[in-house]
Amino acid sequence: MTPAEAPPSFDGPAPWLTEDERRTWMALHRVSVLLPNELDRQLREDFSLSFVEYYVLVMISEQADRTVRLSRLAFLVNSELSRLSHLIGRLEQRGLVRRAPDPTDGRCTNAILTEAGLTQLKAAAPAHVRAVRRLVFDILDTDQQHAMRDALDGIASNLG
């Protein structure tokens, strides 16, 4: 769609992206779709874990006593609580996590990483790191890594 074809916005015409901005935006979009898909494929093939399941296990493992309230975990992994609850249920059936009432507030439920979950996470982590290195860092020199980190940090801080 060209600027002339665009519907008018409430604040006047939209400031269209330059060709450089458009190419950058499309590259960011491609990576935001393709990278998680590739990491998901690798984890599923090698460890029967989805990328989201792996990420949830990592987030729980990084909490004190490997325990976190489900509401906090939903925030950490950017998930709706109901969707996360279903995912935790699947991980619980596999013995990777367990749920327990929060001892400080019985209205809340905690997710707790089990020893089996920690073992699975430790088994998957080296292959996951190798995949991240192969897909991202092996093609970037140090200056490119710093520039990418600075740019992504700037975008993240603009998001909240």
Whether 135 is covered by a domain: the verdict is: no
Q: Which of 5-9, 16-20, 107-111, 141-145 has the lowest mean pLDDT?
A: 5-9
Whether 51 is covered by a domain: the verdict is: yes
Whether 55 is covered by a domain: the verdict is: yes
Q: Residue 10: pLDDT above 70?
A: no
112 close to 100: Cβ distance less than 8 angstroms: yes
Q: Residue 7: pLDDT above 70?
A: no
Give the count of alpha carbons within 13 A of 129, CB side only.
7
Whether 19 is covered by a domain: the verdict is: no
CATH of the domain at 92: 1.10.10.10
Whether 84 is covered by a domain: the verdict is: yes
pLDDT one-digit tens code per residue, 46-91: 999 999 999 999 999 999 999 999 999 999 999 999 999 999 999 9
Residues with Cβ within 8 Å of 6's Cβ and at least 6 positions away in sequence, in order, are 13, 14, 16
Q: How many domains does the chain fold into?
A: 1
Position of tokens 């490997």?
Answer: 66
Whether 81 is covered by a domain: the verdict is: yes
pLDDT one-digit tens code per residue, 16-53: 999 999 999 999 999 999 999 999 999 999 999 999 99
pLDDT one-digit tens code per residue, 116-137: 999 999 999 999 999 999 999 9
Paired tokens of 59: 């987030």
DSSP-assigned letters across all residues of 105-123: EEEEEEEEE-HHHHHHHHH
Query: Burial, 114: exposed, middle or buried (Cβ in 10 Å; 0-12, 13-18, 19+)?
Result: middle
The H or E element spanning position 33 is helix 19-47
Question: Distance between CA atoms of 104 and 112, rounded to whole angstroms?
Answer: 15
Paired tokens of 143: 């200056």
Whether 112 is covered by a domain: the verdict is: yes
pLDDT band at 14 (very low <50, low <70, confident <90, very high): confident
Whether 28 is covered by a domain: the verdict is: no
| Residue type, position 106, single letter | G
pTM: 0.83
Average pLDDT, the chain: 93
- Domain holding 47, by residue range, is 42-124
